[in-house]
């Protein structure tokens, strides 16, 4: 028997559902958190840039031309507010019309070439990042027109802000965003856990019902007790239990039939053995021993038929199946049974047409054909005819015996049933041959039909197989 490989354990269904629901949810929440964080940073940058521009404009309003030169009138209080801010440090630089240094921090990084003008504000302002005094700063560069009666031009005002305030706000936004998203994931996990627990209740009830079943209780489970997706599984369970019930019923029937049919010949054997023990006459003892031998042969024949019937009823495993030629199978049986036909001077013929292979159990198919041909020889009279035909998927066995009446053609397939005409022609039969034939034919998907012979007499057995190998 081939060993079935063990499947890898799948683990908890609840755990699998939670994993495949929470894992994508966590990924989506992480993506959403990143998006929210980036949007919040953009909004914070916009707000800080607006504040930085306001400071730059406030400084630009104090830039003017005095005595032909650009000056920045920045009071001490304003200068102090630029140098030290509660949220960070502010630095400024004012450059004149010709690029000369006017006021502020002369080493403040200049405006790089190629920085685009900000289209958000109605001003000639540009924002850029730089490093000043070993710290990152954000600088607003504002071109401010200046003029008097003697000259006019454009001064450049630079105001830089250290990034501490922005970084503090970005960290706060990140922490708040992650906290909210983590709370969302946790709440979703709890809701999903309760939902999965609730949804799986019918499955757990089915599991408890299976565990509570008695070993002999093979009644169907109600498919309506579980969800629609689980109903095919329940239907498969019910089908399996039905097949198991048929198997158990077949075993019980076989045991009952075997015990009933073997009891009589065994009793006869015991009686004959006791008679032989009491008999002193050698000739009489020999006669009893010969009778014991005949009874033993009949008992062995009956036991073999019972075992064949049991095997046919229980089916064959896939490992026993192979491609079988119907022509060769019937020819082989004809050769094996030819000697029996010769003893009765029966005209045995074999007709073969198209050769076809089917997928089947060669041993059981051989036993089925042996039963049919043996029955035909047994019931065909001396100098009768017996024809074995095979063409494609059809096998026919036609004899010139007494036949079977239409009323008995269904009943003869029942185990141990023998029609009165059959008992009259062959009183030693067991009544199992056609039962074996029926079960083996059903196992191979073949239909069996009993009908009259070509001349209106005798019996023709037709076996029609449905599919080739």
CB 97 within 8 A of CB 69: no
Give pLDDT, residue 84: 45
Three-class secondary structure of residue 456 per DSSP: coil
Rounded Cα–Cα distance for residues 455 and 463 (Å):
20
Distances (CA, A) of 372 to 378, 436, 450: 10, 10, 11
Give pLDDT, residue 319: 47
Distances (CA, A) of 185 to 12, 22, 28, 32, 414: 21, 8, 10, 12, 68
Rounded Cα–Cα distance for residues 359 and 401 (Å):
32
Residues paired with 396 in a beta bridge: 389, 462
Three-class secondary structure of residue 113 per DSSP: coil
17: which 2 tokens?
């559902």
Model pTM? 0.45
Count of beta carbons in the 10 Å neighbourhood of residue 437: 24
Rounded Cα–Cα distance for residues 90 and 163 (Å):
10
Give pLDDT, residue 79: 47
CB 416 within 8 A of CB 436: no
CB 356 within 8 A of CB 468: yes
Rounded Cα–Cα distance for residues 256 and 164 (Å):
95
Give pLDDT, residue 283: 83
Q: Where are the beta strands (DSSP E) in 116-151?
A: 125-132, 135-147
444: which 2 tokens?
């191979």
Cα 361 versus chain centre, distance: 30
Handedness of CA 312, 314, 320, 324 (dihedral sign): positive
Count of beta carbons in the 10 Å neighbourhood of residue 8: 6
Distances (CA, A) of 411 to 268, 301, 416: 29, 22, 10
**Consecutive sets of 10 residues in the chain, 469 residues long: mean pLDDT of each?**
57 76 85 83 83 87 84 63 58 89 90 87 86 90 86 89 82 84 87 84 86 84 85 88 80 66 71 80 81 76 65 55 89 89 91 88 86 88 92 91 83 70 57 76 88 83 83
76: which 2 tokens?
């001490």
CB 465 within 8 A of CB 459: no
Rounded Cα–Cα distance for residues 410 and 356 (Å):
29
Rounded Cα–Cα distance for residues 261 and 271 (Å):
17
Give pLDDT, residue 254: 65
CB 62 within 8 A of CB 142: no
Distances (CA, A) of 165 to 8, 55, 86, 159, 223: 56, 15, 9, 15, 65
400: which 2 tokens?
């010139």
């Amino acid at each position: 028997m081939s060993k079935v490989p063990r499947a890898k354990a799948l683990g908890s269904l609840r755990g699998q559902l939670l994993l495949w629901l929470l894992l994508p949810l966590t990924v989506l929440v992480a993506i959403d958190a990143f998006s929210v964080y980036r949007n919040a940073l953009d909004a914070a940058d916009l707000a800080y840039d607006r504040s930085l521009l306001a400071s730059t404009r406030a400084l630009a309003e104090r830039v003017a031309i005095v005595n032909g030169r650009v000056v920045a009138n920045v009071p001490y209080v304003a200068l102090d507010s630029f140098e030290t801010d509660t949220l960070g440090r502010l630095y400024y630089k004012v450059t004149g019309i010709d690029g000369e240094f006017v006021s502020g921090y002369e080493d403040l990084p200049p405006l790089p070439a190629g920085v685009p003008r900000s289209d958000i504000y109605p001003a000639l302002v540009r924002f850029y990042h730089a490093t000043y005094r070993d710290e990152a700063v954000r600088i607003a560069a504002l071109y401010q027109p200046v003029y008097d009666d003697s000259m006019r031009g454009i001064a450049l005002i630079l105001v830089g802000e250290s990034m501490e305030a922005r970084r503090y706000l970005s960290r706060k936004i990140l922490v708040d965003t992650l906290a909210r998203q983590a709370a969302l994931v946790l709440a979703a996990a709890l809701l999903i856990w309760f939902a999965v627990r609730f949804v799986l209740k019918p499955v757990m009830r089915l599991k408890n019902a299976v565990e509570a079943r008695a070993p002999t209780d093979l009644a169907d489970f109600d498919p309506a007790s579980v969800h629609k997706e689980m109903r095919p599984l329940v239907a498969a369970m019910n089908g399996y239990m039905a097949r198991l019930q048929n198997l158990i019923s077949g075993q019980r029937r076989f045991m009952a039939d075997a015990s009933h049919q073997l009891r009589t010949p065994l009793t006869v054997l015991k009686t004959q053995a006791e008679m032989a023990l009491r008999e002193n006459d050698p000739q009489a003892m020999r006669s009893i021993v010969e009778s014991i031998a005949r009874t033993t042969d009949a008992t062995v024949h009956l036991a073999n038929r019972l075992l064949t019937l049991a095997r046919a009823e229980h089916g064959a495993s896939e490992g026993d199946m192979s491609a079988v030629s119907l022509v060769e199978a019937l020819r082989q049986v004809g050769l094996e049974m030819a000697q029996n036909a010769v003893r009765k001077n029966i005209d045995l013929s074999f007709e073969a047409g198209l050769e076809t292979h089917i997928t089947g159990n060669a041993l059981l198919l051989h036993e089925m054909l042996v039963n049919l041909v043996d029955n035909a020889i047994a019931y065909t009279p001396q100098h009768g005819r017996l024809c074995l035909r095979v063409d494609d998927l059809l096998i026919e066995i036609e004899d010139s015996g007494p036949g079977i009446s239409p009323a008995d053609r269904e009943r003869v397939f029942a185990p141990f049933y023998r029609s009165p005409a059959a008992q009259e022609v062959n009183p030693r039969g067991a009544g199992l041959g056609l039962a074996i034939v029926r079960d083996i034919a059903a196992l191979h998907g073949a239909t069996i039909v009993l009908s009259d012979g070509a001349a209106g007499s005798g019996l023709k057995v037709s076996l029609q197989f449905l599919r080739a190998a």
